Structure 1
Amino acid sequence: MNRRELFRISAALGLTAGVPALAGARAAAKPANAAAPAGAALLPPAEGSIPVAFLLSDNAVVIDFAGPWEVFSNVSVPGRDADPVFQLYTVAASAAPVTASGGMTIVPNYTFANAPAPKVVVIPAQSARDPAVLEWIRQVSRTADLTMSVCTGAFVLARTGLLAGRSATTHHGSFNEFAMQFPDVALKRGARFVEEGKLASAGGLSSGIDLALRVVERYFGRTVARNTANALEYQGQGWLDPMSNNAYAKRRKSTEQQPVCPVCEMDVDKGTSLTSLYRKHRYYFCMDGHKRLFDASPASFV
């Protein structure tokens, strides 16, 4: 799934509501260089596997859940060889096949009615609209050690109300929409991941790998997490620094030579993109939904 498709899913879910709240949301957001709260160590069971539920619905972004899945499935802890360290399974509202990004078809292991109680919940970007999804997240989060979102999965997590009054991050192209939709959540630009007690959120796509490695570290220590990264031949260091997405800490500036969409800051083609005129300046948009969002409150984006 490319960025444009990801934003179209967001628009379809009604994530562009609440335009007037943008100014307040920006004021409430923590500065990008603010230290992320350190997540406390997580206590693994004395024996047996740690159950991890991956919440899926149509348009689930593959790397958002497959990246963490590979991390958790490759963890090796000395003395815990009898069972897999993490027991991984997919959960959906029904047993019907889910069509993920790129057309991948997945048959969920469980539904909400029969899924084992998870200790870790992974929420990737997806088009979850069923109120039962939000209620399931609320219920299982009560007893889970950690509930984590990846990319715009943060929208799903925020819609449960669990992030109210807390900090979070999401895909950098959705910062403005997230701030508008959830003014009671402190958006952290520049964060690779954010930890808030029993909740955590990762930035876009590959950031989920780093957050998963951080979860491994919280359970079993840095050496085990490093060994897991090494087994995956993963050389990224983002899991060691929660504020390592500094490239996205500041808004991109649009120029005449290279205009960017004022809503998502995505590069646009002047020759083919939709436009709006505001205060004698022309703005270019990557999609119709973002043009409509801008036209409803242009001062919020200028």
Structure 2
Amino acid sequence: MLPLKPLLVICLAVTEPAAHAQGVAQAAAEVSGAQAHGRRERPAVTPLPAPGKGRIPVAFLLAPGAEVVDFAGPWGVFEYVFPPEAESAPFQLYTVAESAAPLKVSGGMTIVPNYTLAKAPQPKVIVVPAQGRKPSPAVLAWLRKAARKADLTMSVCNGSFVLAKAGLLAGKEATAHHGAYALFAADFPDVKVKRGARFVDAGNVSTSGGLTSGIDLALHVVERYYGREVAEQTATSLEYQGLGWKDPDSNVAFATKAVSTEEHPICPLCEMEVDKKEALHEVYRGRTYYFCSAGCKKRFDATPQRFVDQ
């Protein structure tokens, strides 16, 4: 698996091929029309057990290169939850890392973790953002153990790679940043990758799309604990006008897989449109594939059939 931070950088540079744009527009129009006529039924929200007293511990699992938006967005959501009957803020927020040493996360920010893996309290909610490197065996072991006693383990963006690596997504439906769908499916064939999902609620484990999608998943978690009214109040307090938390399938712009053509070739890993005059390329089974970076080409060369057979 490629280091997740470089993959995220690739994902953020994605541009849609012209042939794909028409399909996206059509899909968006169909969804918009269905919503206008009330044909899309919102899936039922499965409640989580809010404690009668005490707080809900939420652990943010960090590593060097962790994506700031991925964990800061949900942190802000949980921070601003104020149920009318609660005597204090219901969520207890803290960061966890393998070491107590300061972490340099995306954008150059430095974070001093609240706890090491060995000393972290047992969480009820675990938030895993996209990381800057592969998770260590110690991190995966902690995640598996902590998840067994948690109400919910959730990932944001390519944090889903960490959950899958820990075995928490086997046999489940999940999502990731739209630029990582192909790689996610190739690396974890036992996970059903859902394109176009703002988030996927699979009960005690949930995954969200890229970056700001984590805000929507966090609001959905608030609704699961405290109901729609409290989630609405939280969104209002944040002056957050996004409605993706009410519709898990609202990332419709990314629901249709991009199609690579000779006129508009795309990288088979991140689906980024490339200039074939300058792009690295590889011939496989008589067809030429073009790549946006040496990293994508190296990953393709390792197991090309996984990307061709999707």
- What TM-score do the two structures reach when normalised by structure 2? 0.82
Distance 1:177 1:219 in 2: 33
Q: Is the aligned partner of 1:53 residue 2:59?
A: yes
- In the alignment, what sits opposite 1:165? 171
How far does the alpha carbon of each residue in 1:36-74 deviate from its partner, in whole angstroms, 9 at most, with x for none? 975520111112221100000011000000000010001
- Please tell me whether the aligned partners of residues 58 and 128 of structure 1 are also in contact (alpha carbons under 8 angstroms): no
SS of match in other structure, 1:194: strand
- In the alignment, what sits opposite 1:290? 296
Q: Structure 1 residues 35, 293: CA separation in 2 closer, same or farther (over 3 Å shift)?
A: farther
- Please tell me whether the aligned partners of residues 36 and 243 of structure 1 are also in contact (alpha carbons under 8 angstroms): no
- Please tell me whether the aligned partners of residues 37 and 195 of structure 1 are also in contact (alpha carbons under 8 angstroms): no
- In the alignment, what sits opposite 1:92? 97
SS of match in other structure, 1:154: helix
- In the alignment, what sits opposite 1:142? 148
- Please tell me whether the aligned partners of residues 124 and 150 of structure 2 are also in contact (alpha carbons under 8 angstroms): yes
The equivalences for 1:69-218 within 5 A come to: 69-80=75-86, 82-126=87-131, 127-218=133-224
The equivalences for 1:26-37 within 5 A come to: none
- In the alignment, what sits opposite 2:21? none
Q: Equivalent of 1:301, from 299, 304, 308?
A: 308
The equivalences for 1:246-261 within 5 A come to: 246-255=252-261, 258-261=264-267
Q: Is the aligned partner of 1:241 residue 2:250?
A: no
SS of match in other structure, 1:213: helix
Q: Is the aligned partner of 1:229 residue 2:235?
A: yes
Distance 1:259 1:231 in 2: 44
Q: CA deviation at 1:285?
A: 1.3
RMSD of Structure 2 on Structure 1 (CA): 2.4
SS of match in other structure, 2:149: coil
Q: Aligned partner of 2:118: which letter?
A: A
- Please tell me whether the aligned partners of residues 59 and 127 of structure 2 are also in contact (alpha carbons under 8 angstroms): yes
Name structure 1 gaps, 5 residues minimum: 11-33
Q: Is the aligned partner of 1:63 residue 2:69?
A: yes
The answer to which of 288-297 and 170-179 deviates more is 288-297
SS of match in other structure, 1:142: helix
- What TM-score do the two structures reach when normalised by structure 1? 0.84
Q: Structure 1 residues 8, 173: CA separation in 2 closer, same or farther (over 3 Å shift)?
A: closer
Q: Percent identical across equivalent pairs?
A: 58
How far does the alpha carbon of each residue in 1:52-102 deviate from its partner, in whole angstroms, 9 at most, with x for none? 00000011000000000010001111121x322211100001101111111
Q: Structure 1 residues 35, 263: CA separation in 2 closer, same or farther (over 3 Å shift)?
A: farther
Q: CA deviation at 1:284?
A: 2.5
Name structure 2 gaps, 5 residues minimum: 11-39
Distance 2:188 2:285 in 1: 28
Distance 1:71 1:271 in 2: 45
Distance 1:116 1:279 in 2: 52
Q: Structure 1 residues 217, 271: CA separation in 2 closer, same or farther (over 3 Å shift)?
A: same
Q: Aligned partner of 1:94: which letter?
A: S
Distance 1:184 1:294 in 2: 19
- Please tell me whether the aligned partners of residues 5 and 130 of structure 2 are also in contact (alpha carbons under 8 angstroms): no
- Please tell me whether the aligned partners of residues 39 and 196 of structure 1 are also in contact (alpha carbons under 8 angstroms): no
Q: Structure 1 residues 222, 73: CA separation in 2 closer, same or farther (over 3 Å shift)?
A: same
Distance 1:120 1:227 in 2: 21
How many residue pairs match? The answer is 275
Distance 1:231 1:67 in 2: 14
Q: Structure 1 residues 235, 9: CA separation in 2 closer, same or farther (over 3 Å shift)?
A: closer
SS of match in other structure, 1:122: strand
